[in-house]
């Protein structure tokens, strides 16, 4: 780097050769992953692949067996890094006797924002829990979806530079998922990095810039959402003789299939990939590990 040149800003997450072992089980086996500031990255993989372990290491709730992970250049267990992290765990429990304002106030105190009422109003509005009757209810009276949205609100307390969301839309209806997508898009626009751990490929495809696919603790695929093309997929071709489904087809073969139908004297009305490119790439990457 030349003298006087500006240093490259530290990544929101920088994991290098990251390993985590629980007894004889290796949950992560040398993962390298970078999440830039303002980037939304989807972390994908079957159950037990190591996704939640990665998230816990990135927010300082666990210590690596070897390798390193840094948050904005700092150890995620440090107070400096933790002040810049917002986290929603997959399986969380909030005190049932509290109201939403009280819960957020407690998290504000922990984050050092001293219980700012304007911030609470803003956060509850962003997740659709700001009406007066809802704010009067205790959390124990909330539906699972309402608690999930409140969990997202608490993850945003203190305007963190990095937000880690572990299955944030798992209990939400389509309307609430749209609200969450809007929140994530707003975070990206404000320069906040998001690591989204989700099984819902459609949600990931809608909001993420990149995806990283983990299988058995190993990063097996990484790239832009629309750049991860599977080597083969399933194509449906509708003709005047009916609809035919072709499996195990790569891109180059699609034109040949259509030409074959035309050569046979059939009119082709529609050619459609069955499942998104991301879905096909995911299934190809994880193989038989789809649990």
What average pLDDT does the segment 219-245 reach? Answer: 79
Neighbours of 36 (CB within 10 A): 16
- Distance, in Å, from the CA atom of 50 to the CA atom of 216, rounded to the nearest integer, reads 7
**Confidence tier at 142 by pLDDT (50, 70, 90):** very high
What average pLDDT does the segment 30-37 reach? Answer: 94
- Distance, in Å, from the CA atom of 88 to the CA atom of 74, rounded to the nearest integer, reads 20
Residue 189 has pLDDT above 70, yes or no: yes
Question: What token pair was written down for 108?
Answer: 């504000």
Question: What token pair was written down for 80?
Answer: 């400096």
Question: Burial of 9 by CB count in 10 Å (0-12 exposed, 13-18 middle, 19+ buried)?
Answer: exposed
- Distance, in Å, from the CA atom of 46 to the CA atom of 19, rounded to the nearest integer, reads 18
State percent of the chain over pLDDT 70.
90
Q: What is the mean pLDDT of the chain?
A: 86
More confident residue, 230 or 62: 62
Residue 89 has pLDDT above 90, yes or no: no
- Distance, in Å, from the CA atom of 120 to the CA atom of 153, rounded to the nearest integer, reads 9
Q: What is the pLDDT of residue 7?
A: 63
Backbone angles phi, psi at 87, to 5 degrees: -140, 130
Neighbours of 163 (CB within 10 A): 25
Q: Which helix (H) or strand (E) holds 206?
A: helix 201-207
Q: What is the pLDDT of residue 3?
A: 57
- Distance, in Å, from the CA atom of 186 to the CA atom of 192, rounded to the nearest integer, reads 9
CATH superfamily to which 13-224 belongs: P-loop containing nucleotide triphosphate hydrolases (3.40.50.300)
Q: What is the pLDDT of residue 112?
A: 80
If we measure between CA atoms, which residue out of 87, 234, 220 comes closest to residue 158?
87
Question: What token pair was written down for 242?
Answer: 């009916």
- Distance, in Å, from the CA atom of 14 to the CA atom of 231, rounded to the nearest integer, reads 29
- Distance, in Å, from the CA atom of 239 to the CA atom of 247, rounded to the nearest integer, reads 17
DSSP for residue 71 = B
Neighbours of 39 (CB within 10 A): 19
Q: What is the pLDDT of residue 177?
A: 83
Residue 270 has pLDDT above 60, yes or no: yes
The highest-confidence range among 67-81, 102-116, 141-155, by mean pLDDT, is: 67-81
Domain boundaries defined on the chain: 13-224, 233-286
Question: Burial of 290 by CB count in 10 Å (0-12 exposed, 13-18 middle, 19+ buried)?
Answer: exposed
State percent of the chain over pLDDT 90.
50
């Amino acid at each position: 780097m030349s003298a006087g040149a500006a240093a490259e800003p530290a990544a929101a997450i920088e994991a290098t050769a990251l390993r985590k072992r629980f007894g004889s089980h290796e949950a992560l086996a040398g993962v390298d992953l970078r999440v830039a500031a303002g980037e939304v990255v989807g972390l994908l993989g079957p159950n037990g692949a190591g996704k939640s372990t990665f998230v816990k290491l990135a927010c300082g709730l666990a210590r690596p067996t070897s390798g390193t992970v840094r948050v904005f250049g700092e150890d995620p267990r440090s107070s400096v890094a933790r002040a810049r992290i917002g986290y929603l765990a997959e399986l969380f429990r909030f005190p049932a006797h509290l109201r939403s304002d009280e819960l957020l106030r407690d998290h504000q105190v922990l984050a050092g924002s001293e219980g700012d009422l304007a911030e609470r109003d803003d956060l509850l509005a962003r997740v659709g829990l700001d009406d007066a009757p809802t704010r009067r209810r205790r959390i124990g009276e909330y539906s699972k979806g309402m608690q999930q949205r409140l969990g997202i609100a608490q993850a945003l307390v203190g305007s963190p530079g990095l937000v880690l969301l572990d299955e944030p839309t798992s209990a939400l209806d389509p309307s609430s998922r749209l609200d969450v997508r809007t929140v994530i898009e707003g975070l990206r626009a404000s320069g906040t990095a998001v690591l989204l751990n989700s099984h819902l490929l459609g949600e990931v495809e809608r909001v993420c810039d990149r995806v990283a696919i983990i299988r058995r603790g190993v990063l097996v695929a990484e790239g832009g959402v629309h750049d991860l093309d599977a080597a083969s997929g399933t194509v449906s071709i509708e003709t005047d003789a009916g609809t035919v489904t072709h499996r195990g087809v790569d891109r180059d073969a699609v034109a040949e299939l259509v030409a074959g139908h035309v050569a046979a004297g059939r009119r082709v009305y529609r050619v459609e990939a069955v499942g998104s490119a991301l879905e096909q790439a995911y299934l190809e990457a994880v193989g038989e590990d789809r649990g």
